[in-house]
Amino acid sequence: MIFLFGGTDDEERLNDLYAYNIRANSWEKLSVSSQQPLPRSGARGVAYMDGLYFFGGYQRKQGTYFNDLFYFDIDQ
C-alpha cells in the first residue's frame, strides 16, 4: 500500500487520506473517524508497524507552518 495525505488541488489545501493498493492498481479514499489534522501541504509521513505518522506542513508559504504530529491506525 502507498498512502497519500493532504496537499492541494490548486484551489485549496486538503486533509484527505488515500490508500493505493499496488496489487489491485486502485485508489481508495479512507474515512477518518478521529480528529483530523487541519488541511495542509508539505506534511511529512512515515509508516511504522501498524500506523502512519504525519508531521508538520503548512497552509500558506508565507506563514501558518505546523509543528504537530498525527497518528492514523491503519487497521481501523
3-state SS track over the chain:
CEEEEEEECCCCEEEEEEEEECCCCEEEEECCCCCCCCCEECCEEEEECCEEEEECCEEECCEEECCCEEEEECCC
pTM metric for this prediction: 0.80
Contact 50, 66 (CB under 8 A): no
Give residue 21's domain range.
2-73
Q: Mean pLDDT per 10-residue run, the chain (76 residues)?
A: 89 91 96 85 91 91 86 85
Number of folded domains that form the chain: 1
